[in-house]
Chain A
């Protein structure tokens, strides 16, 4: 059985950043386990300039990521709170210059750095099971080419994303504040130049978002609450199409394009965080520890910052540092809730309708606790 100092579960930006941080600043041996085979299409996001501070902290420079990895944003066109388009980008962020991130290039650079610096990455890990015996973490998994594998470590990091079940298995409580879901599709257009295009538009039951991923491929997502989705049957292609057709900002832009997949995907997009104490020698980072409504554009930036801080807290010899880290997460989440509420309050046309009513002032204070 192989023993490592730290096992990181999850190979997204948060997991990779943890691994790099642990190797560079704490000289630890790291094993990173990832469920997928890295071939999934990942959706890029806006990031603020502060991401470069974390890149620097990990011993990388922006140039290492390739020329087009960070493309300055020209702002998005939004129909939010009004049916007149606004194109200024101050609506959703107060962070100055933002960049559109090429997720494939970004993730790949981080992962390659992990391996080049001596870390071990195992993709395609299924049925990952963890247990703490004394001060040692035992990790078991099943690999399609290698069969059942066992590993041990001193520390364990949960970077396994917003749908992670790991926390639940370890008895960590998760607070969930809403039931937002995204119902979306990748859209192809043979001629259209989608590049750097972002459009956002509110509607009675939520909001629509379109983002260009490459010149002829875009992702279009309808965000709404899961009960509204079921009621309206928005996860059915025909109904989704009908509602998409009614959008002002997005529909005209998609004329003549078609979906690249037979089915729509449905993904959780709700806000949630780990709200009870962690086991010893454990932290969670990125979407696993706290995830945010996509309207906030906080995902990647938070993945990087929580990874750097979380890794540092985990290894720190001082008593209570992980608790400070958790308190910070709580504070960030509270601040986020205020920002999110402000954004949703800018839409006043449908305050009586369920989606918007639920997001009215102070809604975020009435949090329900759901243990997962």
Chain B
């Protein structure tokens, strides 16, 4: 009987709380993560996302083994002798190419390869292959089996036969490397993968969203294999899966309009016969009947949830139910077609064609007929112009379009080819969809968990299955330069799925929520702005005796200011992936202390990342950000998302009078709220922590000890308490 691992691609999320303080993965798209009991069984939806010190708890991914009837196989199953899991996490970011938008994406053909595009490596001063291999964070594979066992991906337990392990040494900025993560088994022998601790460090100043040279973070990915053996001597069975470690999902209940599950589904449908009656022999079947609840309603719901993390009012017509979206009658067809036609069609993936749908912002240019096309996000290259990187034909993709399969299903709906009511014909295993369904699918520039390489069928063995590269890593180690998208594919090595992402991830996370996108020039995103100021000096002479004439003289002075490349106007304010990196959010503190700490009333729309004002601050203080949570989640249909668990204590607040900039004291009646990290305060807090470490640390331990003695069991995680100063949903 054939067994399989689910999810086929799991998603763990890093966190900086103590190693044993973690949550477990959500079990649906847009679901909350779970608390767990001592047997590592999920109990209730997350109570706190952070620990008492305001540090984010890691999110573990549970992997299960199912048989062909979808019955789960555990250590308790009859005839099962052992379940052994092997995972190999690695981080190849520092050894890969510098991120350069769509360059290197082989879906645009061989001419777009990194080599042909002349793209530079990260850390270009390291040139030899063996030396570049040492840029990889690779601590070898780990194995766990049995009940409630663990293994850590740190330098202290590298397998003795693994000869090519390497990891970053001490750094000048940020934190030193500690570990890529932890493997655990629950009491039934299921695997739980936990990622890194959110540590990132480097030796250079961060300047761009792609990160910097000599930097590392503790993101990783890698293959998962599982061997089940039997007591009756039946042959052992081996199965494969993959795991990706992402950064925290700060708004887990809100998902992107195109998720990574949509990407996998699209690849499965168009390349692996996942749904043969939807797509076969290279084309979609126009007779395919979609299902509203399964295929369409999620898209509408995601658009409606967007407003809690970003102000995209132009999308409001797409969830306003101005007509019955479920009405599949012919009479309703004009409404549905109108809805559908507002969605941008996809570009052809060819180099040099700039007259394509994804270059277009508005539905029409005539007044009264104008709406920004859907979805109102940036495309996967709205950053660099056609002539960037010394190329003349750089691929530009200004605005977003849904993927081909999403667009096909939407078209079937518009044409009335859809059924109503929940269907039990699920096209994909629910666990497989839930894990990656909470990741960004589009746009990918590069994204936050994984990027456009996952659109390439060469990475897959079959639908939803990442192909494992067959190599003996223990002697050779991992390749720093092999492109798994090239040639025949051959499969992925540990670290391949995340190696294109920003290094460290915080750089992209800080920069990539909004993008101002030029919409007039198809080949141009940004240009260098040169500002020339002229000043004219005119000399007139007075009190001269009659008859003396002095020629009037003019003097012209010019100064020229050259600015960094800036978006060329006219431009449109567009979003990347606010469900992962929120932008406009509501404040949520409802008690006095919380509001005093936050300096804001509840219910005010405010910038999410306020107070974090540089790349460096994001590297250090990402865990201070709020989790966006539906405070009315028990009453479906009436959402109320606000910030919760923001570490207000970190930030100082000042209202700056406009007069301080204009010089006119009357302007001071209008003020601008400014949030910032008082670096003095932070360093002195640390200092204070050192000078009276004896005192405060002891105090904290005492409190722990007293409470352990006073309350048995120590902490009940199954009940939701409403006291205290921290917000819980």
Using CB atoms and an 8 Å cutoff, list the residues of chain A in contact with chain B: 37-42, 104, 108, 111-112, 115, 120-124, 126-127, 142-148, 186, 188, 213-214, 216-217, 258-262
Asked if B705 and A124 sit within 8 Å, CB to CB, the answer is no
In the A-B complex, list the 9 residue pairs whose CB atoms are closest, starting with the nearest.
Answer: A144-B724, A147-B721, A38-B699, A142-B723, A39-B699, A104-B695, A121-B706, A123-B703, A39-B696
Which residue of A has the minimal Cβ distance to B684?
A260
Query: What CA separation (Å) do A37 and B695 show in the bound complex?
Result: 12
Query: What CA separation (Å) do A144 and B703 show in the bound complex?
Result: 13
Q: Which of B324-332, B619-627, B634-642, B707-715 contacts A (4 or more CB under 8 A)?
A: B707-715
Q: Which of B309-317, B348-356, B465-473, B686-694 contacts A (4 or more CB under 8 A)?
A: B686-694
Complex A-B: 26 CB contacts under 8 Å: A39-B703, A40-B699, A41-B692, A108-B699, A111-B702, A112-B702, A115-B705, A120-B709, A121-B706, A123-B706, A142-B723, A142-B724, A143-B721, A146-B716, A147-B719, A147-B721, A147-B723, A186-B688, A213-B692, A214-B691, A216-B691, A259-B684, A260-B684, A261-B681, A262-B678, A262-B681
B560 at interface (Cβ–Cβ under 8 A)? no
Query: What CA separation (Å) do A186 and B681 show in the bound complex?
Result: 13
Asked if B700 and A37 sit within 8 Å, CB to CB, the answer is yes
Asked if B711 and A146 sit within 8 Å, CB to CB, the answer is yes
B71 at interface (Cβ–Cβ under 8 A)? no
- Checking B691, B707, B726 against A123 with a beta-carbon cut-off of 8 angstroms, the contacting residue is B707
Which residues from chain A contact B698 at a C-beta distance below 8 Å?
A: 104, 108
Interface residues of B in 651-700 (CB under 8 A from A): 652, 678, 680-681, 684-685, 687-688, 691-692, 694-696, 698-700
Which residues from chain B contact A146 at a C-beta distance below 8 Å?
A: 711, 716, 721
Which residues from chain A contact B691 at a C-beta distance below 8 Å?
A: 188, 214, 216-217, 260
Asked if A120 and B699 sit within 8 Å, CB to CB, the answer is no
Which residues from chain B contact A124 at a C-beta distance below 8 Å?
A: 703, 707
Asked if B707 and A122 sit within 8 Å, CB to CB, the answer is yes
Query: What CA separation (Å) do A121 and B707 show in the bound complex?
Result: 7
B549 at interface (Cβ–Cβ under 8 A)? no
Type the 1/0 row for B456-497, where 1 means its CB is closer than 8 Å to any CB of A: 000000000000000000000000000000000000000000
Which residue of A has the minimal Cβ distance to B717?
A145
Asked if B700 and A104 sit within 8 Å, CB to CB, the answer is no
Query: What CA separation (Å) do A42 and B691 show in the bound complex?
Result: 13
B136 to chain A, nearest CB (A): 41
B112 to chain A, nearest CB (A): 53
B281 at interface (Cβ–Cβ under 8 A)? no
Which residues from chain A contact B721 at a C-beta distance below 8 Å?
A: 143-148
Which residues from chain A contact B652 at a C-beta distance below 8 Å?
A: 262
Query: What CA separation (Å) do A108 and B725 show in the bound complex?
Result: 26
A149 to chain B, nearest CB (A): 9
Query: What CA separation (Å) do A213 and B726 show in the bound complex?
Result: 32
B521 to chain A, nearest CB (A): 49
A361 to chain B, nearest CB (A): 41
B722 at interface (Cβ–Cβ under 8 A)? yes
Query: What CA separation (Å) do A214 and B716 show in the bound complex?
Result: 39
Q: Known contacts being A147-B721, A147-B722, A148-B723, is A38 close to B700, with CB within 8 Å?
A: yes
Which residue of A has the minimal Cβ distance to B711?
A146
Which residues from chain A contact B707 at a C-beta distance below 8 Å?
A: 122-124, 145
Query: What CA separation (Å) do A41 and B688 show in the bound complex?
Result: 10
Which residues from chain B contact A259 at a C-beta distance below 8 Å?
A: 684
- Residue picked from B680, B703, B724, most chain A C-beta under 10 Å: B703
- Checking B678, B685, B694 against A104 with a beta-carbon cut-off of 8 angstroms, the contacting residue is B694
Which residue of A has the minimal Cβ distance to B696?
A39
- Checking B687, B699, B725 against A37 with a beta-carbon cut-off of 8 angstroms, the contacting residue is B699
Query: What CA separation (Å) do A82 and B131 show in the bound complex?
Result: 74
Type the 1/0 row for B562-578, where 1 means its CB is closer than 8 Å to any CB of A: 00000000000000000
Which residues from chain B contact A111 at a C-beta distance below 8 Å?
A: 702, 706
Which residues from chain B contact A40 at a C-beta distance below 8 Å?
A: 699
Q: Known contacts being A37-B703, A122-B707, is A145 close to B696, with CB within 8 Å?
A: no
A71 to chain B, nearest CB (A): 15
Query: What CA separation (Å) do A38 and B697 show in the bound complex?
Result: 9
Which residues from chain A contact B710 at a C-beta distance below 8 Å?
A: 120-122
Query: What CA separation (Å) do A39 and B688 show in the bound complex?
Result: 12
A312 to chain B, nearest CB (A): 25
- Checking A39, A41, A42, A260 against B700 with a beta-carbon cut-off of 8 angstroms, the contacting residue is A39
Query: What CA separation (Å) do A142 and B722 show in the bound complex?
Result: 9
A88 to chain B, nearest CB (A): 31
Which residue of B has the minimal Cβ distance to A146?
B711
Asked if A261 and B684 sit within 8 Å, CB to CB, the answer is yes
Asked if A108 and B702 sit within 8 Å, CB to CB, the answer is yes
Which residues from chain A contact B692 at a C-beta distance below 8 Å?
A: 41, 104, 213-214, 217
Which residues from chain B contact A143 at a C-beta distance below 8 Å?
A: 721, 723-724
A132 to chain B, nearest CB (A): 23
A349 to chain B, nearest CB (A): 36
Which residues from chain A contact B702 at a C-beta distance below 8 Å?
A: 38, 108, 111-112, 123
Which residue of B has the minimal Cβ distance to A114?
B706
Asked if A41 and B695 sit within 8 Å, CB to CB, the answer is yes
B135 to chain A, nearest CB (A): 38
A140 to chain B, nearest CB (A): 11
Query: What CA separation (Å) do A8 and B681 show in the bound complex?
Result: 36
Asked if A144 and B726 sit within 8 Å, CB to CB, the answer is yes
Which residues from chain B contact A186 at a C-beta distance below 8 Å?
A: 688
Asked if A41 and B696 sit within 8 Å, CB to CB, the answer is yes
Query: What CA separation (Å) do A143 and B694 show in the bound complex?
Result: 26
Which residues from chain B contact A120 at a C-beta distance below 8 Å?
A: 709-710
Which residue of B has the minimal Cβ distance to A11?
B706
A123 to chain B, nearest CB (A): 4
Which residues from chain A contact B687 at a C-beta distance below 8 Å?
A: 188, 260
Query: What CA separation (Å) do A115 and B707 show in the bound complex?
Result: 11
A39 to chain B, nearest CB (A): 4
Asked if B684 and A144 sit within 8 Å, CB to CB, the answer is no
Which residues from chain B contact A41 at a C-beta distance below 8 Å?
A: 688, 692, 695-696
Query: What CA separation (Å) do A124 and B681 show in the bound complex?
Result: 25
- Residue picked from B684, B691, B695, B700, most chain A C-beta under 10 Å: B695
A126 to chain B, nearest CB (A): 6
B380 to chain A, nearest CB (A): 44
Which residue of B has the minimal Cβ distance to A120?
B710
B674 to chain A, nearest CB (A): 15
Asked if B696 and A122 sit within 8 Å, CB to CB, the answer is no
Which residue of B has the minimal Cβ distance to A214?
B691
A160 to chain B, nearest CB (A): 17
Which residue of B has the minimal Cβ distance to A186?
B688
Query: What CA separation (Å) do A260 and B699 show in the bound complex?
Result: 19
Query: What CA separation (Å) do A174 and B279 show in the bound complex?
Result: 84
Which residue of A has the minimal Cβ distance to B714?
A145
Query: What CA separation (Å) do A216 and B693 show in the bound complex?
Result: 13
- Residue picked from A41, A42, A148, most chain B C-beta under 10 Å: A41
Query: What CA separation (Å) do A44 and B724 show in the bound complex?
Result: 29
A119 to chain B, nearest CB (A): 9
B589 to chain A, nearest CB (A): 15
Query: What CA separation (Å) do A147 and B711 show in the bound complex?
Result: 12
Which residues from chain B contact A213 at a C-beta distance below 8 Å?
A: 692
Which residue of A has the minimal Cβ distance to B697?
A39
Which residues from chain B contact A217 at a C-beta distance below 8 Å?
A: 688, 691-692
B597 to chain A, nearest CB (A): 13
A190 to chain B, nearest CB (A): 9
- Residue picked from B687, B698, B710, most chain A C-beta under 10 Å: B710
Which residues from chain A contact B715 at a C-beta distance below 8 Å?
A: 145
Which residues from chain B contact A122 at a C-beta distance below 8 Å?
A: 706-707, 710-711
Known: A38-B702, A260-B691. 4 other contacts (CB 8 A): A108-B702, A111-B706, A147-B723, A261-B684
B354 to chain A, nearest CB (A): 53
Which residue of A has the minimal Cβ distance to B700?
A39
Query: What CA separation (Å) do A120 and B709 show in the bound complex?
Result: 7
Query: What CA separation (Å) do A214 and B694 show in the bound complex?
Result: 11
A320 to chain B, nearest CB (A): 35
Query: What CA separation (Å) do A144 and B678 show in the bound complex?
Result: 28
Interface residues of B in 67-110 (CB under 8 A from A): none
Asked if B723 and A144 sit within 8 Å, CB to CB, the answer is yes
